[in-house]
Structures are given as C-alpha cells and as structure tokens.
Structure 1
Amino acid sequence: MSEIRYFFNNPVVEKVREEDREEGRVEARSEITLEDLEWRGISVSDAVRERVLSRADPEQLKTWSERAVQVVRAEDLFAGDGA
C-alpha cells in the first residue's frame, strides 16, 4: 500500500503554520502588555498603543511587557530603547 501524503503534512505548510504561531505569540504579547498597563490604571495613548501593536520583535516585546508592571506612565515602556 502506498503512503498518502496529505496537504497538511507538507513541509511548506508546516513552515507557514509555525510562522503563524509565532505571529500569534507576538500579537498576544503586545495585547498583554497593553492590558497590563490598563489593568494598573495607566492610560495608554493611541501613539503608545500603535507602537506596541506594530512591534514584531519578540525580545523587545518581552522587555516592554516586563516594564509594563513597573512603569508609572505608558510612555516609560520605551525608556532606554534609544528611539
């Protein structure tokens, strides 16, 4: 009997799935960072929201999410980032 290779077992499809998973993790980290600020009663401007949501670097988002539980102002997330 011959092996049946389904579309979902295709290496290209697997790569796309992993990229989608990573994108989902980045998006979730961004949203959690903003939610942490809002739960703490810190207002988040549209500029801060846009900057956080548009970031794709997981390491930068990790740094910002760690800062989100310590900062006094939402803009303080970006302190020391050089931009």
Structure 2
Amino acid sequence: MDLSFYKSFMSEEIRDEGRAEGLAEGLLLILKVRGVPTTDEFHEKITNCTDPQLLRQWLNRAATATTADEVFTEG
C-alpha cells in the first residue's frame, strides 16, 4: 500500500487547515465562556487565520485577556 500521500506537502496542508479550524473554534469558545466581547471584525480575523502557531498564541492570551484587543496586541 502506497502511503506517500500521508507524508506529502498537500497532506500536511490539509492537516494544518484542520488544526487551524480547531484552534479558531477553541479560541472563540474561550472568549465566549470568559465573557470577553468580540466584534464581527475579531470573529472574522480568527476564523480566517490559517496559521496554527498564531492561533495558539492568541489562544494563550485569551486565557487571561479581559478584552479582545488584549488577545491580538503583543506586549
């Protein structure tokens, strides 16, 4: 059985998309549960992001943020 597809660039891209979608959903859930209000602009920024590393960074900030701005502002 040829398993080369699972090691291919395309396969990795598909996995990254899935990771990004899951991280975006988690980020939005954390913000909602914590009562941090978000605008449509923030919601769109989160759901359109395809970078799992950046989404993880935002997710870490969301754990302690009191505003959505704190999630996206470095510092």
**TM norm. shorter chain > 0.5:** yes
Unpaired runs of 5+ residues, structure 1, are none
Residue of structure 1 equivalent to 2:39: 45
Displacement of 1:75 in angstroms is 2.0
Number of aligned residue pairs: give it.
73
Q: Which runs of 4+ in 1 moved over 3 A?
A: none
Residue of structure 2 equivalent to 1:21: 15
Residue of structure 1 equivalent to 2:72: 78
TM-score, L = length of structure 1 = 0.74
1:31 aligned to 2:21? Answer: no
Unpaired runs of 5+ residues, structure 2, are none
TM-score, L = length of structure 2 = 0.81
Structure holding more helix per residue: 2
